[in-house]
Amino acid sequence: MKKLLAGAAIAVLMAASPALAQTPPNVLIVGQIAEPQTLDPQVSTAANDFRILTNVFEGLVRFAEGTLEVEPALATDWTISDDGLVYTFNLRDDVTFHDGTPFNAEAVKFTFDRMLDENHPYYETGPFPLSFNFADVTSVEVLDDYTVEFTLGTPFAPFMTNLATNTGVIVSPTAVAEHGEDFGRNPVGTGPFKFEEWQSNTRVVVSRNDDYWGEPAGMETVVFRPITDANTRVAEMLSGGIDIMVEVPPDNVSMFAEDPSFTVYDAVGPHTWYVMLNAKEGPFADPLVRQAANYAVNKETLVNDVLSGTADVSAGPIPPAFAWAYNDSVEPYPYDPEMAQQLLEESGVEDLSVTFYVTEGGSGMLDPIPMGTAIQADLEAVGFDVEIETYEWNTFLANVNPGLEGKADMAEMAWMTTDPDTLPFLTLRTAAWPEEGGFNSSYYSNVDVDEMLDQARMETDPEVRAALYRDVQQVVHDDAPWIFVANWKQNAVSTANVQGFELQPDFNLLLRGVTKQ
């Protein structure tokens, strides 16, 4: 009966006009910036999707709240062999999936074999674009019902961190078998909330899992609403139509902070916002032109004026949140239009006409249309002719992820990661060009960077590994495959009656402890 009442309350809420909307006391309404792409955790790549998935699914390990430190979740403990190749996990024996089937070692093996074994019967439910996180796994073996063993071909430093990400969570084998490629519309995990419905362009609804093995969630129902337009999200927040809004437009942060009816949250996390440059064809195939673009763009103005101080200027592909691996001797490109024009003259490139893909909004995209138009103006001031093409987020990704070749010269992009390996490994290696299954849509290639990244992910000595990432930062900065723009300080706002909510450094939304007074 409770679920029926919650569903009725949601229906009333969704039908109400914004001016009259008030969220029910047992329902938490979260205003997101876009429609999910998929709710299959192994298929998804977007933080927008992960914010939902992290409440429905769990992995063997997870990040402790407020940190990027790994702690037990579906595994109670584990051992690692002396050579760093064998990881043995002891599993909880009191967990069931939301469909009532048992969580066990077979489910763990199924999850990872589905991603990694091309001969697995459900491999076609992919693609699995972030499975590279586990590419070094050579086998997953069931030792008994509640013990599972991973064997790696080479030592892999980020392995435990990657297990704590959304790509490493465990799915119900029964649900995958039932739904096949539609599992992304019918997700089944073990988390504190279970999936109820997905109405396209309207809402995703999850309800409290009353059979959860841990502390039960405080809210009976959570509704994730896609509200692409920033002004509309703000209006919904002000009118009481939503309880939590993520990615607050920068020019509205102070307004909410000064109003006692709301609570503003901010936190530094590993985020990078950049403009990828097509290094394969067109003017940006010349590194001098790429460097010129970096000198031409006034990043200080972007972060201070367009983003109202909610970000810092970026110096490269590894964000300063990874302090242990960050090269603080690499300075951001200064704003120097004269240097930009000098480099353009040295390059000899005459045709500076470029197409710039800009999105209307998306995960971590930082007011992308104002940012895009400001970047356009700065580039045109030094001689570029920039044509902007604007797309809705999922259409934008469909254009950008397969690569810019033959389509565009520039595209906005943002990544939130949990290890310094992830972003450069996925977007800067030659082997990560789109046709190879990666996200190096700008076709950047440097054999030295390739070798350093390959070595860094196998290096178990933290100091040696950190030194490699610092070197990557310097080389990529000089090669300038991107315009390095900003590292965001993530933010959110809630109504004052929301309790127990905090932002997480991995940019997920942990809602199991959230209540409303």
Kind of pairing between the strands at 498-499 and 482-495: unpaired
Q: Which two tokens stand for residue 8?
A: 């009725």
Topology of the domain comprising 1-56+191-261+496-517: D-Maltodextrin-Binding Protein; domain 2 (3.40.190)
Q: What is the largest CA-CA distance in the chain?
A: 73
Hey, how many other C-beta atoms are within 10 angstroms of the C-beta on 139? Answer: 15
What share of residues in the chain are helix, strand, coil (percent, to 5)?
A: 35, 25, 40
Say how many residues make up the chain. Answer: 517
Q: Which two tokens stand for residue 60?
A: 């063997």
Q: Which of helix, strand or coil describes residue 340?
A: helix
- Cβ-contact 427, 436 below 8 angstroms: no
Q: What local confidence, expressed as pLDDT, does residue 34 receive?
A: 86
Q: Domain map of the chain by residue range?
A: 1-56+191-261+496-517, 58-182, 271-488
CATH code matching the domain that covers 271-488, chosen among 2.60.40.4070, 3.40.190.10, 3.10.105.10, 3.30.1330.120: 3.10.105.10
Q: What local confidence, expressed as pLDDT, does residue 273 receive?
A: 96
What does DSSP assign to residue 459?
-
H-only helix segments in 382-429: 393-400, 422-427
- Find the angle CA(51)-CA(52)-CA(58) to the nearest 5 degrees: 90
Q: Which residue(s) pair with 194 in the sheet? A: 207
Can you give 153-164 as a three-state secondary structure string?
CCCCCCHHHHHC
Q: What local confidence, expressed as pLDDT, does residue 411 receive?
A: 98
310: nearest Cα among 246, 259, 354, 359: 246
- C-alpha 506/C-alpha 408 separation (Å) is 30
In which residue ranges of the chain is pLDDT below 50?
1-20
Q: What local confidence, expressed as pLDDT, does residue 121 receive?
A: 97
Torsion of CA 246, 2, 517, 229, to 10 degrees: 20
- Cβ-contact 188, 171 below 8 angstroms: yes
Q: What local confidence, expressed as pLDDT, does residue 361 receive?
A: 85
Hey, how many other C-beta atoms are within 10 angstroms of the C-beta on 84? Answer: 15
Topology of the domain comprising 58-182: Dipeptide-binding Protein; domain 1 (3.90.76)
- Cβ-contact 404, 441 below 8 angstroms: yes
- Cβ-contact 270, 319 below 8 angstroms: yes
Reported as a single tens digit per residue, the pLDDT across 309-345 is 889 999 999 999 888 899 999 999 999 999 999 999 9
What does DSSP assign to residue 367?
S
CA Rg value for the chain: 23
Q: Which two tokens stand for residue 384?
A: 């570029």
Q: What local confidence, expressed as pLDDT, does residue 161 receive?
A: 92
